[in-house]
Amino acid sequence: MAELRLSSVTKRFAAVAAVQGLDLEVRSGEFIVLLGPSGAGKTTTLRLVAGLERPDEGRVHIAGRDVTTLAPARRDVTFVFQQYSLYPHLSVFENLAFPLRSPLRQTPEAEIRRKVEEVARLLRIEDKLQSPSTRLSGGQMQRVAIGRALVRNPAVTLMDEPLSSLDAKLRDDLRLELKRIQQDLCATMLYVTHDQTEAMTMAHRVGVLERGRLVQVGTPRQIYENPVSSYVASRLGSPRINLVPRSALGEAAAPPQAETAGLRAEHLELAASASAAARGGAAARVLRLESLSDQRLAHVALEGSGHEIVASLPAGARAAPGDAVRLQWRHALWFDAHGQRVAA
């Protein structure tokens, strides 16, 4: 394991800047997740670190060494892709051993067996070592792909949405497994995804990408509670943060330069319009109710503007479609006309 540093890295494809002036430091043993939608520059960033692309500007350092111009094989990084990419004619053992048999490494057979068995135990597939790779489940195949990346203890492990092609149950299981393995190995990992759940649950720190720019880096809690923009605020949180014009909230106190309010569902409360608790807030009407596991949500429309807002309903709260309510909030995030955060 080793630290990774990208300094002012830019990569263009014709007129499109896929990555723009990216500065990022990943500490040794740290799990960093880059979060963003398709086209944000996530995969290009990984390819620049791996050496599969050459930056137009900027430098890449691994373990304090400038690797910007080095070939991929000389960088001591491994790459886990979205698809499993196993060798179908090889057993699980041979797939895991393959990186250790590279001419660049010349690992003794006894050491290969020790390392393969160690990684197989970590991944809980030690009983599958002699199985053909084609007879594994999807989750087992992805475990083998991850193990092949970790077996030689690389300086940096790169992961490009490795769980996105799995079903929901397997994603949940492997997300926990991957975090455990990273902690056990103290591996340096740079992981990219569009899935906020993966970012929130696995990362030591999250970097949010927007059109090739790294707009904020912080712990998942920091990103969630103190986003620098409405774009960042909308990347984390389920249900998604409510973004409504300031004018739709009536007499709400807001900073003078604020144009948009960000209201998270858990910071909102509904009170029946006729109740004593209905003082203040904004008039609204319940559109529909939604239950998500232990979470109850109310979709309401603000009177006058018609803007739809999602609010959490506490246990025991009563509401029905068509009810007139007052929408109140304990906390709001404010953004200017360009979507940048404004201090309250």
Q: Regarding beta strands 31-35 and 189-193, do their DSSP bridges make them parallel or antiparallel, or are they unpaired?
A: parallel
pLDDT of amino acid 295: 81
pLDDT: is 177 or 7 the higher one? 7
Q: Are residues 150 and 106 in the same domain?
A: yes
Confidence (pLDDT) at 24: 97
**Averaged pLDDT, 20-34:** 97
Same domain, 24 and 63: yes
Amino acid at 243: L
**Residue 10 pLDDT exceeds 70:** yes
Lowest mean pLDDT among 5-9, 79-83, 154-158, 195-199: 79-83
- Section 312-336 average pLDDT: 88
Predicted confidence at residue 274, as pLDDT, reads: 54
- Per-residue pLDDT at 314 exceeds 70: yes
Examine the domain organization and report whether 157 and 225 are in the same domain: yes
In angstroms, the CA 41 to CA 19 distance is 6
The number of beta carbons lying within 10 Å of the beta carbon of residue 75 is 20
| Angle at which helices 168-185 and 138-150 cross, to 10° | 20
Whether the CB-CB separation of 6 and 44 falls below 8 Å is answered with: no
pLDDT in tens, 66-97: 999 999 989 999 999 887 788 889 999 999 99
> What are 71's two structure tokens?
């070939």
What is the Cα–Cα distance from 269 to 104, expressed in whole angstroms?
Answer: 62
Give the residue numbers spanning the domain of 318: 242-342
**What is the phi/psi pair of residue 196, to 5°?**
-65, -30
Q: What is the mean pLDDT of residues 129-138?
A: 89
Residue 8 and residue 152 share a domain: yes
- Mean pLDDT within 165-182: 82
Q: pLDDT tens digits, residue range 243-261?
A: 999 888 876 778 889 999 9
**What is the model's pLDDT at position 272?**
75
User: Is residue 45 over pLDDT 60?
Assistant: yes
Cα–Cα dist 216/294, whole Å: 31
- Minimum mean pLDDT range among 5-9, 62-66, 68-72, 271-275: 271-275
Alpha carbon separation from 306 to 18, 248, 286, 301, 339 (Å, rounded) = 38, 9, 11, 5, 21
What is the amino acid identity at position 113? R
On the question of pLDDT at 344 being above 80, the answer is no
**pLDDT for residue 280:** 67
Q: Where are the alpha helices (DSSP H) in 16-84?
A: 42-50
Last residue of a domain, one of 212, 235, 258: 235
* Same domain? 51 vs 79: yes
Greater confidence (236 vs 271) lies with 236
Phi, psi of 262 (to 5 degrees): -105, 115
Same domain, 221 and 252: no
The pair of structure tokens assigned to 190 is 């740079």
Q: What is the pLDDT of residue 276?
A: 44
Are both 298 and 200 inside the same structural domain?
no
Is the CA virtual torsion 93, 185, 223, 263 positive or negative? positive
Mean pLDDT of 203-230: 96
Cα gap 286→270, rounded to integer Å: 9
The tokens for 186 are: 């103290």
DSSP string spanning 262-327? EE-GGGEEEEETTSGGG-SSEEEEEEEEEEETTEEEEEEEETTT--EEEEEE-TT----TT-EEEE
Q: Are residues 86 and 227 in the same domain?
A: yes
- Of 170, 203, 235, the residue at which a domain comes to its end is 235
Q: How many domains does the chain have?
A: 2
3-state helix, strand, coil in the chain (%, to 5): 30, 35, 35
Average pLDDT, integer, range 53-62: 97
**What confidence score (pLDDT) does residue 175 get?**
87
Closest CA to 53 of 1, 12, 6, 99: 12
- Percent of the residues in the chain that have a pLDDT greater than 90, as a whole number: 60
Over range 125-147, report the average pLDDT.
89
Domain boundary among 209, 235, 261: 235
Mean pLDDT of the chain: 90
Same domain, 328 and 183: no
